[in-house]
């Protein structure tokens, strides 16, 4: 397993909103939206400035967002809360 790169302020990541509880960031039905790390709490938990495709807001702050590897998953293996992850490299 590869070690996950530690996040730092200013890095661009993907934010995956929980579509049931985070309607503001999930309004365009995208699987993920861009975000910038504005503060890292150490390890893989960060505060994010999220940029949803939402006509009512330009950006949304989300606090203490965990990385995908730190998120609890349901019986189907799907994350149960919002999380962030590094963009895929093509």
| pLDDT of residue 76 exceeding 60 | yes
Mean pLDDT of the region 37-42: 91
Strand, helix or coil for residue 68: helix
- List the alpha helices (DSSP H) in 1-90: none
Kindly report the average pLDDT of the chain as a whole number.
88
Q: Where are the domains of the chain?
A: 12-85
Given a contact cutoff of 8 angstroms between Cβ atoms, the answer to whether 43 and 5 are in contact is no
pLDDT band at 59 (very low <50, low <70, confident <90, very high): confident
- Rounded Cα distance, 8 and 44, in Å: 10
pLDDT digits (tens, 9 = 90+) for 9-28: 999 999 999 877 777 776 67
Residue 28's contacts (CB-CB under 8 Å, 6 or more residues apart) are: 52, 53, 54
Query: Is the pLDDT score of 54 beyond 90?
Result: no
**What pTM was estimated for this model as a whole?**
0.88
Taking the C-alpha atoms of residue 75 and residue 62, their distance in angstroms, rounded to an integer, is: 26
Please give the structure tokens belonging to residue 89. Answer: 């490299």
At 2, the pLDDT band (50, 70, 90 cuts) reads low
């Amino acid at each position: 397993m590869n070690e996950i790169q530690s996040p730092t302020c200013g890095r661009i990541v993907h934010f995956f909103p929980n579509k049931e509880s985070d309607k503001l960031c999930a309004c365009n039905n995208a699987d993920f939206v861009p975000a910038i790390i504005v503060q890292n709490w150490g390890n893989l938990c960060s505060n994010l400035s999220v940029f949803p495709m939402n006509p009512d807001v330009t950006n949304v702050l989300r606090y203490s967002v965990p990385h995908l590897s730190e998120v609890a998953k349901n019986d189907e293996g799907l994350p149960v809360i919002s999380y962030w992850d590094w963009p895929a490299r093509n």
